Amino acid sequence: MLKRLHSSRGHIVLHRDIKSSNILLDTYWNTKISNFGLSSIIPASKEFSFHVSSPVGTFGYFDPRDAETGVLTKQVDVYSFGVVLFKVLCGRLCTGNYKDDYPLISKLAQSYWNEEKRIHTILLDCLQDQISPTSLSKFLSIAYKCLEITINVLQYPIS
């Protein structure tokens, strides 16, 4: 889904608002992305390509590093997709209430993995009972890789 946007000929489309309500499924369960109102198009003709911009998107889905650096790369969409994956795994909204220790699901997931090593305690019980451990492990691996991608323009080839 994202690969198609990020590997167009001549340009790269950065959606900048990947979230569960913008990912649609057709009758054959094929994914479609909607709502390109915040998207940016950057040229893919350079070995390294980035765009300086102010952060946009839905709070809880956009990469906080984007707000810090102002550098827009494909990683902003990948990070947002990781948030969507954790929403599915945990059955929670991407933002909690102000009383939560971790108001963002991305920070909750990172904390439970990095610090406490007990990610299974925040996963939906029904998923743990219905998904094979191998599949769950692969799903978690992909979701974490989406959140852990670091924005480093000098090491970011567009291919």
Q: Is 17 noted as a catalytic residue in this protein?
A: yes
Q: Is 113 exposed, middle or buried (0-12, 13-18, 19+ CB in 10 A)?
A: middle
Residue of 17, 63, 66, 77 marked catalytic = 17
Residues in the chain: 159
Q: What is the DSSP string of 13-66?
A: EE-S---GGGEEE-TT--EEE---TT-EEEE--SSB--EE----S-TTTS-HHH
Short-list 92, 75, 103, 90, CA closest to 136: 90
> In whole angstroms, what separates CA 144 from the centre of its chain?
9
Residues marked as catalytic: 17
